[in-house]
């Protein structure tokens, strides 16, 4: 378990993390979300003892990182895949880490095989692509077979097969009872990977709940209805409005908010409207996240006119 208690980090007059308290439990994948500049990387660095908190503390299984005698055996982290000497081979890099923590040499070959880098183990890390560098960083995190794993943007630079592999890896580690803490900006991938979410904005906690709970409480239910008869669809829209539902035009159909397919279907049947589609629009984590974090976005550009509905 990772425990944060009143964790705060200030850089001069800027507060990067503000009074953050939460527990990251074992046996599940906890996703860590937030806009750019929200304090995610700073939080992870404080957990790993790389940044000293201004106040508060971060503990891993009850201890500060600096108190761990062989830290790689207890916690593995991928925070920056580029933090490798470019003239060292992948094997040499991992071997040096293994020797520093009393990890058997054979473990190096095991993790290289696990991440798919055996064939390039002798190549200099500086020649690796971004995706290969990510895999080497993950190998380093797994080297000590730790109970706690922290990944900061682990799928950066990976192809679709690599993204799916990271997802399976994270979930298999959690299934073994380990603590898995993963940050990402890919909402669709996080919805598939995480069991629990921690969302921060401007250094403060916004949400700490199961994925389904975050989506349910922060998304608007929507029914999509389509018809080949524009005039009849307009009549249906008026009838929906009279019944207290908001219906927005969407091409040859409508998006009806806070309604069920049964309610919309019954009204369409009463009016004799022929339908080609009537379905619930599945709420997404992206929609929920954008609603929760909208007031915490520090760097925001203008939305192009033809993209405004999609980003709404």
Residue 286 lies in a domain: no
Residue 198 lies in a domain: yes
Indicate if 66 and 120 belong to the same structural domain: yes
CA distance linking residue 136 with residue 219, whole number of Å: 37
What is the reported pLDDT for 282? 76
What is the reported pLDDT for 310? 46
CA distance linking residue 188 with residue 2, whole number of Å: 25
CA distance linking residue 162 with residue 46, whole number of Å: 28
Comparing C-alpha atoms, which of 93, 49, 296, 289 is closest to residue 186?
289
What is the reported pLDDT for 312? 39
Indicate if 191 and 269 belong to the same structural domain: no
What is the reported pLDDT for 308? 44
Residue bearing tokens 């500049």? 37
Buried b / exposed e along 247-283 (16+ C-beta atoms within 10 A): beeeeebbbbeebeeeebbebbeeeebebeebeeeeb
Residue 55 lies in a domain: yes
CA distance linking residue 253 with residue 227, whole number of Å: 6
Distances from the Cα of 116 to the Cα of 88, 132, 162, 165, 283, angstroms: 18, 9, 10, 10, 35
Note down pLDDT in tens along the chain; length 312 residues: 999 999 999 999 999 999 999 999 999 999 999 998 899 999 999 999 999 999 999 999 999 999 999 999 999 999 998 889 999 999 999 999 999 999 999 999 999 999 999 999 999 999 999 999 999 999 999 999 999 999 999 998 889 999 999 999 999 999 999 999 999 988 989 999 999 999 999 999 999 999 999 988 877 778 999 999 999 999 999 999 999 999 998 888 999 988 889 999 999 999 999 999 999 887 789 888 888 887 666 655 555 555 544 443
Indicate if 56 and 123 belong to the same structural domain: yes
Indicate if 127 and 268 belong to the same structural domain: no
Residue 292 lies in a domain: no
What is the reported pLDDT for 231? 92
CATH number of the domain at 268, please: 3.30.70.790
What is the reported pLDDT for 78? 95
Indicate if 211 and 251 belong to the same structural domain: no
Rg (CA), the chain: 24
Buried b / exposed e along 62-86 (16+ C-beta atoms within 10 A): eeebeebeebbbbbbbbbebeebee
Residue 27 lies in a domain: yes
Indicate if 118 and 256 belong to the same structural domain: no
Range of the structural domain that residue 258 is part of: 221-281
| Cα angle 54-56-59, degrees, rounded to a multiple of 5 | 120
Q: Distance from CA of residue 201 to its chain's centroid? A: 14
Indicate if 238 and 183 belong to the same structural domain: no
Number of domains in the chain: 2
């Amino acid at each position: 378990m990772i425990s944060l208690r009143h964790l705060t980090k200030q850089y001069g007059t800027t507060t990067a993390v503000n009074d953050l308290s939460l527990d990251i439990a074992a046996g599940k994948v906890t996703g860590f979300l937030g806009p750019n500049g929200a304090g995610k990387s700073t939080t992870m660095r404080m957990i790993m003892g790389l940044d000293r908190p201004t106040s508060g503390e971060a503990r891993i299984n009850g201890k500060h990182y600096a108190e761990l005698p062989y830290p790689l055996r207890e916690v593995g982290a991928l925070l920056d895949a580029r933090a490798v000497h470019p003239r060292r081979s992948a094997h040499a890099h991992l071997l040096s880490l293994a020797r520093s923590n009393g990890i058997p040499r054979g473990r190096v070959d095991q993790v290289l095989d696990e991440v798919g880098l055996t064939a390039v183990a002798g190549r200099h890390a500086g020649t690796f692509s971004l995706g290969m560098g990510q895999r080497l960083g993950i190998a380093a995190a797994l080297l000590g077979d730790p109970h706690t794993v922290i990944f900061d943007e682990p799928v950066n630079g990976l192809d679709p097969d690599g993204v799916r592999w990271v997802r399976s890896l994270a979930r298999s580690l959690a299934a073994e009872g380990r603590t898995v803490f993963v940050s990402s900006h890919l909402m669709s991938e996080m919805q598939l990977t995480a069991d629990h979410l921690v969302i921060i904005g401007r250094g403060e906690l916004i949400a700490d709940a199961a994925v389904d709970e975050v989506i349910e409480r922060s998304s608007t239910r929507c029914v999509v209805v389509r018809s080949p008869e524009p005039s009849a669809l307009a009549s249906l829209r008026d009838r929906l409005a009279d019944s207290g539902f908001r219906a927005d035009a969407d091409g040859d159909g409508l998006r009806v908010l806070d309604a069920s397919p049964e309610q919309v279907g019954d009204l369409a049947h009463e009016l004799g409207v022929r339908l080609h589609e009537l379905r619930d629009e599945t709420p997404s984590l992206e929609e929920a996240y954008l609603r929760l974090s909208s007031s915490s976005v520090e760097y925001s550009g203008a939305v192009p006119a033809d993209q405004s509905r999609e980003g709404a």
